[in-house]
Every structure is written in structure tokens, then in C-alpha cells.
Amino acid sequence: MKKVFSVTLLSFALILSSLFGNAFNAEAAVTSQKVITEAKKLIGTPYKFGGTTPKGFDCSGFVYYTYKKAGKTLPRSSASMYQTGKKVHKSNLRPGDLVFFTTYKKGASHVAIYIGNNSIIHATSSKGVKIDNLNNSYWKPKFIGAKRVL
């Protein structure tokens, strides 16, 4: 009797774990899609140093605002964002991952959101919020890492 009860209990635990595990994965996928949807709504928003609103964004202000709209609060600066989440290899990027670059100073001085197909969305100082190819001649050599925060 004990053995039957133990097997039944273990089976029940595995079923619950499987159900909740899948629910959490589905939730993460919905959240990354929401992040990307919110980000794309902001294409064309002008650049503003220190900007955190749709009136104007800097790179980390754009990422901070977009994730907050999707229900996740991140640190405010690209350097602080680089200290959060789980490190991801460039070959394993998923939509919603944060990608980091070294631009005007050493370390993570620029952040963007990976949206799939080697594309990123970010706030650039020259054209505001736009989509770029991660491997273009400007961004590829400046890439320093990626983090998964969802």
C-alpha cells in the first residue's frame, strides 16, 4: 500500500511540475512578445540624453520604459542592467534578451532589445528609436554581451 501511495504521489507531483513549468515558460514568451510590441510602438521617438518617456529616450531609458510597460522593472542604466539577469551567448539569443555594447566609454555603455532574426531595437543618438541589424558594421565590433532578464 505504501508503495502504491508513493508512486501515486510522485506521479501527481511530476504532473503538477510539468503543468506549472509549461505555464511559466508560456508566461515568459508572452512577456517577451509584449516587450517587443511595446518597443515597436516607440519607433521614431527622438533621442534625449537621460530621457525616460515617449517625449525622448536615451538607450537605457528606452529599455527601462519598455520593460516597465510590459510589467518588469529593470535598473535604470545600461551598466546596471548589464549586472542583472543570466548571461546568454550571442548564438543563443531569444527575443526579449538585452544586448550590450561598448560605445562612448569602456564597459556596457549602450543597451538594446533583441527582437529576433539578428535584429535589435534601441534608442540611437542619431535617429532615435529604430531597428538595426545586430551584425552590421557599426554594432558587431562593439558587442560585449547579452543577458536574459525574462
Structure confidence at residue 105 as a pLDDT band (50, 70, 90): confident
The whole-number pLDDT of residue 104 equals 87
- What is the pLDDT averaged over residues 78-92? 97
In the three-class reduction of DSSP (H, G, I as helix; E, B as strand; rest coil), residue 127 is classed as coil
**pLDDT above 90 (res 84):** yes
Sign of CA dihedral 136, 138, 140, 145: negative
- The answer to whether the beta carbons of residues 74 and 84 sit under 8 Å apart is yes
Of 1, 113, 14, nearest in space to 62 by CA: 113
| Residue in 122, 134, 149, 150 annotated catalytic | 122
| Cell numbers describing residue 71 | 510589467
The whole-number pLDDT of residue 12 equals 41
Residue with cell 534625449: 48
- The answer to whether the beta carbons of residues 89 and 101 sit under 8 Å apart is no
Q: Could you give the domains of the chain?
A: 2-148 (3.90.1720.10)
pLDDT tens-place string over residues 118-143: 999 999 999 999 999 999 999 999 99
Catalytic annotation present for 122 = yes
Average pLDDT, the chain: 86
Q: What does residue 62 show for φ and ψ, rounded to 5 degrees? A: -65, -50
The CA-based dihedral angle spanning residues 82, 84, 87, 90, taken in that order and rounded to the nearest 10 degrees = -40
- What is the pLDDT averaged over residues 95-104? 96
Structure confidence at residue 14 as a pLDDT band (50, 70, 90): very low
Catalytic annotation present for 110 = yes
| Residue in 36, 59, 111, 149 annotated catalytic | 59
Distance of CA 126 to the CA centre of its chain: 22
**pLDDT above 90 (res 20):** no
- What is the pLDDT averaged over residues 86-90? 97
Catalytic annotation present for 59 = yes
| Residue in 34, 110, 147, 148 annotated catalytic | 110
pLDDT tens-place string over residues 26-44: 445 548 999 999 999 999 9
**pLDDT above 50 (res 114):** yes
As a whole-number percent, the residues of the chain with pLDDT over 70 amount to 80
Distance of CA 139 to the CA centre of its chain: 17
The whole-number pLDDT of residue 17 equals 42
Distance CA(93)–CA(149), nearest Å, equals 12
Distance CA(82)–CA(109), nearest Å, equals 9
